[in-house]
A and B are shown apart, each in its own frame.
Chain A
Amino acid sequence: MPEWRDDTEGENMQLTHLNAHGEASMVDVGDKEETRREAVASGRIVMQPETLELLVDGALPKGDVIATARIAGIQAAKRTHELIPLCHSLALSKVALEFDVDLAQSCVHVEAMCRLNGRTGVEMEALTAVSVACLTLYDMCKAVDKAMRIDAVQLEQKSGGQRGDYQRSAYASQRAGEPIVTGDSAAREVSLGDRCAAPYVRVKFLAELRERVGESEAVIALDELENCDVAGLKATLTARDSAFEALGERRTLCAINQVMANDSARITDEDEVAFFPPVTGG
């Protein structure tokens, strides 16, 4: 009888999809505690720079490539149990895919996040979503480029469950550099350029506040503000979307150009205004 347990790693390293005889067996998850599970997987498809250009311009024969790949990834996550023999069918509470066009590396980065409250992990769902989104990108672009390559499909992180959390060590540092280098933010800079003549303020939402307002950054023309101060900026944003009501709470803090500021502080052209909750470091 084979020894499946790797004692140097402890009991957690047992292969749960094999029984004592080494045969495939589905795990009975009925007795496991329900916890909130989340997994993030990533991958990429490398293509010719000309292909990527057509993709960005929306000039490929099959239409909107990214939108199609996103739907394909979401559908695939939901159907993982039909593809992978020993996977349970899961009622996912959220599936989200992100696509980053990377002109420097001539590729599209794909990232999928899956979540549920349940008894099994969702990493297979996230990996399936990434794989099928990449395959769809291939299918949508193959008329002009047959040499495309799908690679680096991998789990970035997972949380929840008995085996604890996992985080790929390079993942965090990659993410840190992203806002500066992705095609997405480059595109935003370009579109901003059109209206750069008009004075504007760059607004950041940090930590819990970012999750509550559902945005990390916004650029607003100064002439849209009711008043060119912090109170005026809060009022303008709140009028736009009720999600920004969180800005009006007493515990919400503000910094202008990285110096703490109150409601009456003036805002001028090209200022960076950040809103965030009370700090909890140390």
Chain B
Amino acid sequence: MDVHKDIRVSVQREPFSGVDDSCELGQGRTDIGAVVCFTGLVRDFNESPNVTGLTLEHYPGMTERTLENIGQEAWKRWSLKAVRIVHRVGYMAPGDGIVRVSAASAHRRDAFEACDFIMDFLKTRAPFWKKEHAKSGDYWVKERATDYADADRWQS
């Protein structure tokens, strides 16, 4: 019955609006029983202890397409009602939101797992790069083996 896939992705400089997407996704619909919304924030410690901010770069075009594909893949694997992926680029300060992923489904397990899956794939496939600014200087953030191990969990 799912003719229309309600998947929307956005790569933007502007901060996210609202606290989370659960109100927007549930609006005017009664088939949604669960919304899981994940928000990733800028920490003031990472590879160095005093991070004062970061600048996120991406590859316009490929980024949007990759996020769209990850949303489609999640749609295939779980029974979903809506998917939202918003990723910010440009300069951000500690405490600012970087990424927001929301998944809506009839039952909670699908939404939880889809959200988890989308984040794991986004972190290892979407062409974003973080440059952290710290008191000791600027540096490009290194990829992490744990992120790849997390993404591998879904390969089966």
Instruction: Please give the residue numbers on chain A whose beta carbons come within 8 Å of chain B beta carbons, in ascending order.
Output: 33, 35-36, 38, 157, 159-161, 164-165, 167, 172-173, 176, 204, 206-208, 211, 251, 255, 258-259, 274, 276-282
Q: Indicate if the CB atoms of A172 and B91 lie closer than 8 Å.
A: yes
Taking A206-B127, A279-B125, A282-B123 as given, write out 10 further A-B residue pairs in contact, using a Cβ cutoff of 8 Å, ordered by the A residue number: A159-B52, A159-B138, A176-B90, A206-B59, A207-B131, A255-B127, A279-B123, A280-B142, A281-B123, A281-B128
As a 0/1 sequence over residues 28 to 71 of chain B, the CB contacts with chain A under 8 angstroms (1 = contact) are: 00000000000010000000000011001111011001000000
Q: Which residues of A contact B138 (CB under 8 A)?
A: 36, 38, 159
Query: A207 to B130, alpha carbons, bound, how many Å?
Result: 8
Flag whether B141 is at the interface (Cβ < 8 A): yes
Pull 20 A–B residue pairs with CB atoms less than 8 Å apart, ordered by A: A35-B136, A36-B137, A159-B53, A160-B137, A164-B52, A165-B133, A172-B90, A176-B13, A176-B90, A204-B59, A208-B129, A258-B59, A258-B61, A259-B62, A276-B59, A279-B143, A281-B98, A281-B99, A282-B40, A282-B87
As a 0/1 sequence over residues 132 to 148 of chain B, the CB contacts with chain A under 8 angstroms (1 = contact) are: 01011110111100010
Flag whether B124 is at the interface (Cβ < 8 A): yes
Q: Indicate if the CB atoms of B52 and A279 lie closer than 8 Å.
A: no
As a 0/1 sequence over residues 90 to 101 of chain B, the CB contacts with chain A under 8 angstroms (1 = contact) are: 110100001100
Among candidates B52, B57, B90, B93, residue contacting A207 with C-beta atoms closer than 8 Å: B57
Q: Indicate if the CB atoms of A258 and B62 lie closer than 8 Å.
A: yes
Q: Indicate if the CB atoms of A281 and B122 lie closer than 8 Å.
A: yes
Q: Indicate if the CB atoms of A277 and B13 lie closer than 8 Å.
A: no
Nearest CB in chain A: distance from B97 CB, A: 12
On whether A159 and B133 interact (CB within 8 A), knowing A165-B53, A258-B65, A282-B98, the answer reads: yes
Q: Which residues of A contact B61 (CB under 8 A)?
A: 258
Instruction: Please give the residue numbers on chain B whose beta carbons come within 8 Å of chain A beta carbons, in ascending order.
Output: 13, 40, 52-53, 56-59, 61-62, 65, 87, 90-91, 93, 98-99, 119, 122-131, 133, 135-138, 140-143, 147
Query: A92 to B128, alpha carbons, bound, how many Å?
Result: 32
Q: Indicate if the CB atoms of B59 and A282 lie closer than 8 Å.
A: no
Among candidates B58, B65, B90, B133, residue contacting A281 with C-beta atoms closer than 8 Å: B58
Among candidates A160, A207, A255, A274, residue contacting B135 with C-beta atoms closer than 8 Å: A160
Q: Which residues of B contact A206 (CB under 8 A)?
A: 57, 59, 127, 129
Q: Which residues of A contact B130 (CB under 8 A)?
A: 280-281
On whether A282 and B119 interact (CB within 8 A), knowing A206-B57, A258-B61, the answer reads: yes
Nearest CB in chain A: distance from B142 CB, A: 7
Query: A251 to B145, alpha carbons, bound, how many Å?
Result: 12
Among candidates A36, A208, A282, residue contacting B136 with C-beta atoms closer than 8 Å: A36
Q: Indicate if the CB atoms of A33 and B135 lie closer than 8 Å.
A: yes
Q: Which 6 A-B pairs have the closest CB atoms?
A: A281-B128, A207-B129, A258-B62, A278-B143, A282-B123, A36-B137
Query: A84 to B37, alpha carbons, bound, how many Å?
Result: 52
Q: Indicate if the CB atoms of B40 and A276 lie closer than 8 Å.
A: no
Q: Which residues of A contact B141 (CB under 8 A)?
A: 280
Q: Which residues of B contact A159 (CB under 8 A)?
A: 52-53, 133, 138
Nearest CB in chain A: distance from B47 CB, A: 10
Q: Indicate if the CB atoms of A279 and B135 lie closer than 8 Å.
A: no
The residue in A33, A173, A259, A281 that gathers the most chain B C-beta atoms within 10 A of its C-beta is: A281
Query: A176 to B119, alpha carbons, bound, how many Å?
Result: 26
On whether A282 and B140 interact (CB within 8 A), knowing A159-B133, A165-B133, A258-B59, the answer reads: no
Query: A124 to B58, alpha carbons, bound, how many Å?
Result: 31
Query: A36 to B138, alpha carbons, bound, how many Å?
Result: 8
Query: A35 to B12, alpha carbons, bound, how many Å?
Result: 31
Q: Indicate if the CB atoms of A280 and B13 lie closer than 8 Å.
A: no
Residue on A nearest B122 in the bound complex, by CB: A282
Among candidates A165, A208, A279, residue contacting B127 with C-beta atoms closer than 8 Å: A279
Query: A98 to B154, alpha carbons, bound, how many Å?
Result: 47
Q: Indicate if the CB atoms of A167 and B91 lie closer than 8 Å.
A: yes
Nearest CB in chain B: distance from A171 CB, A: 8
